[in-house]
Structure 1
Amino acid sequence: MGLLSSVFDSAGGTLADQWKDIIIPGSFDEQTVVAPGIRRNSQNGRGANYGNSGVLSNGSIIQVPEGTAGFIYSRSGIERVISEPGGYEYRDGQLSVFDKQDRAENGLGDIFLGQIGERIGFSGMTPDEKRICFVNLREIRGIKFGTRGPLAYNDLFYGADLEIHSFGNLSVRVTDPVAFMRGFVPAGTYSYSFAKPASREQLVAEFLHSFIGAVNVLSRDYRISQLPAQGAAIVDAIMSEDNNAATWERRFGLRLTSVAIESIDFSDASRELVRRYSEKKMDVSAYEGISEHAANVAAQQKIAEGIRDKGLGDAGGMLFGMNLAGGLDPRNASQATGAATQAPAAPEPAPAPAAPAPDLDAQIETLKKLKELLDAGILSQEEFDAKKKQVLDL
């Protein structure tokens, strides 16, 4: 009974697999990189081809869409790669009574009897096995990445290592489909998508290693706030390396094509550092607006205080100090020289006592603030000395 059953199964399988097939790719989405070939078994309510999915008959048509490469697998591996779009007629499959060339070369009897006899030894199954899949050659976009821990970014504008978290998307393209199928896709896999976490895990891990190195290279030229607009520069920096993402094309036939940074978040410590820096910078800008008049008044009052201490009293010291300060002004030098060569003039009436000079509190507070900026490292010693001289008019 077993042998007889095998004969009937072999005959039924042979008859079912005589139909020629039309093979089309399964559905592609944004991140599908490999789609299986599927048999079109109905069209407008017609068609009833439900034979063995692993059998491909001679005369079958493989439809290869634009932007894909068709792969035909046999038991030994990759049998053929179809890189040109269009309809491809397959001639290395099983003989079919519906194929004119096969009928002419073999005859109907040899086609049936030969296949039935071959299958009987396998209990009605065919030893032949053909698989079709299609590789997406378009850009695969929207592969998400994110730094798991803080990334150190040496921002020369702030003069400090800032801790950041970065999130975004990367895009890749298959440039060598054969290397990709042999080196990246697991063996025996005819459907593959980067939408699955397990598929992109190693890819994203290697990318992040390259990404960290690339953004630190860019820190020499770009402030951290400029990073999101430097996607092309990041790709160039990554591809200039000799490991991780830069090796994908050589190892897998896969190339990194673009990087889009969605957001950059500071750690709490870095956010506080940037806030304090901004406040100090605003203070410096405010104090740079001190008028020359205020500096001159401060200098006159200090001279007046010195003269007063020599015994001329408050009013006299203030008056003499202001006159002396005026005499030290280079604009008055020519007038003073001319007066020395002329005969002494009649004494002029003493001027009315000058109004008290403004309080020094504002100037002293300014110097204190400048000293704080010096201690915080915002101002250099040279910048502090220059501002001090400006305030005291020295």
Structure 2
Amino acid sequence: MGIIKAFTGAIGGTFADQWKDIITVGGFDEHVVVSPGVLKSSNNGRGTNFYGSDGIISNGSKIYVPENTAAFIFSQSGIEEIISEAGGYEYQNGQESVFNEDKVGKAIFGQIKDRFGYGGISSDYKQIAFVNLREIRDIKFGTKGAQVYNDIFYGTDLEIFAYGSFTIKVTDPVKFVRNFVPANMTFYTFDDQKVRAQILAEFLQSFIVALNSLSNTYRVSQLPSQATAIAEIVANDSNNAGTWEERFGFKLVQVAIENIEFTEDSRELVKQYSANKMNLIAYDDVSEKASNIAAQQKIAQGIQDNGLGNMGGMVFGMNMAQGLNPTNAEQRSTASSIDDQIANLKKLKELVDAGILTQEEFDIKKKEIMGL
């Protein structure tokens, strides 16, 4: 074995004092998944500097693997070792180093001679790179063509465009480096279109499967709230994205739908549906009002035929129409009941017939009782 473990976890205590010059990862941004090792020097607590050739290691090289990262050592012939546990290590299987208690002449001149034989590159040239084991977030996607979605609310097929992002995570660095990362790569990022092309194509195939499975349950407008369900369906698709972990050592973690857009034809279809719906509501409202008016007229006619004569029938018919109108709720609450009005007017009519009240006085009192 070329790797000797010194400690696990973060550097601390006596190891921090002893390991002044170590090779570690320079840093990852949001989409970088492989980054070369850099030599980090600490000068008695006065700060740190990165220097030296990226990722080149030799006998005695000290390596620090931070949390949530893995490291792999490789040469031109392929991958030699992969370190998947955070901690400090020492490499003891590479080319000789002047810093490893070797003679200066033997180390330097031996390498010069060897490099001449390999076009300036040593035959045992070793490098180290680090794999990001944190979530790789906000990988954007968008459907290139319109997708058909059978919306249960509209009861028809609608064409839509979907846009959003998804998150992946490396779960098996060994499989990831061997099966997904090209040979001898020390830097790899999902910002590179060539890197994204394959997983985007497979993701979209699985995403379409998810849309089809949800169309029997959810409306188009509900899809953004079903991101978790979509992620589960995509991650379990046995033909595309669901195979990533087995094939490449990374898996889908989450999906976020940012926008759903109709095609122009589907947008017009939805507009027409909405217009028809509004027309139907308006028609139903008019029909209901017409039915109320007809009922009111029948009530008025009944009072006229069987009540207090022509004048009384017309008066009670008008008041009944007002009482049945939903917009006159406040008037109904303040006026006397129909029965009370009828009883009072009958008494007044008897007084007119007896000559006690004049017709003019009756008309005045009638208006008061009826609230006219």
Shorter-chain TM-score: what band?
0.5 to 0.7
C-alpha contact (below 8 Å) 1:71/1:133 kept by paired residues: yes
Q: Distance in 1 between matches of 2:307 and 2:296?
A: 22
- The CA deviation string for residues 253-272 of structure 1, in whole angstroms up to 9 with x for no partner, is 12111111111111111112
Q: Structure 1-normalised TM-score?
A: 0.64
| Other structure's SS at 2:256 match | strand
Q: Distance in 2 between matches of 1:47 and 1:268?
A: 57
CA drift of 1:66 comes to: 1.4
| Other structure's SS at 1:275 match | helix
Q: Distance in 1 between matches of 2:145 and 2:164?
A: 15
Paired amino acid for 1:69 = A
Aligned to 2:29: 29
Paired amino acid for 1:22 = I
Aligned to 2:151: 155
Aligned to 1:222: 218
293 and 114 in structure 1: CA distance in 2 versus 1, 3 angstrom threshold = closer
- The CA deviation string for residues 99-123 of structure 1, in whole angstroms up to 9 with x for no partner, is 3xxx5xxxx56x8547745753553
CA drift of 1:198 comes to: 1.9
C-alpha contact (below 8 Å) 1:151/1:163 kept by paired residues: yes
CA drift of 1:192 comes to: 0.6
Q: Distance in 2 between matches of 1:21 and 1:57?
A: 13
89 and 203 in structure 1: CA distance in 2 versus 1, 3 angstrom threshold = same
CA drift of 1:167 comes to: 1.0
Q: Distance in 1 between matches of 2:123 and 2:198?
A: 36
Pairwise mapping of residues 108-123 of structure 1 onto structure 2 (< 5 A)?
112-113=105-106, 116=109, 120=113, 122-123=115-116
Find 2:180's aligned residue among 178, 184, 187.
184
Find 1:134's aligned residue among 111, 122, 130.
130
- The CA deviation string for residues 325-382 of structure 1, in whole angstroms up to 9 with x for no partner, is x9xxxxxxxxxxxxxxxxxxxxx89953976x99xxxxxxxxxxxxxxxxxxxxxxxx
Aligned to 2:310: 352
Q: Distance in 1 between matches of 2:249 and 2:48?
A: 41
Pairwise mapping of residues 1-394 of structure 1 onto structure 2 (< 5 A)?
22-40=22-40, 56-96=57-97, 98-99=99-100, 103=101, 112-113=105-106, 116=109, 120=113, 122-123=115-116, 126-289=122-285, 294-295=290-291, 298=294, 351-352=309-310
Q: What is the aligned-residue RMSD (CA, Å)?
A: 3.6
86 and 166 in structure 1: CA distance in 2 versus 1, 3 angstrom threshold = same
350 and 75 in structure 1: CA distance in 2 versus 1, 3 angstrom threshold = closer
CA drift of 1:211 comes to: 0.9
Aligned to 1:367: none
Task: Structure 1: state its 5+ residue gaps.
Answer: 1-19, 302-317, 327-347, 359-394
C-alpha contact (below 8 Å) 1:69/1:137 kept by paired residues: yes
Q: Distance in 2 between matches of 1:218 and 1:80?
A: 45
| Other structure's SS at 2:30 match | coil
Q: Structure 2-normalised TM-score?
A: 0.67
Percent identity for Structure 1 against Structure 2? 50
Paired amino acid for 1:352 = N
| Other structure's SS at 1:58 match | coil
C-alpha contact (below 8 Å) 2:114/2:123 kept by paired residues: no
Q: Distance in 2 between matches of 1:55 and 1:212?
A: 45
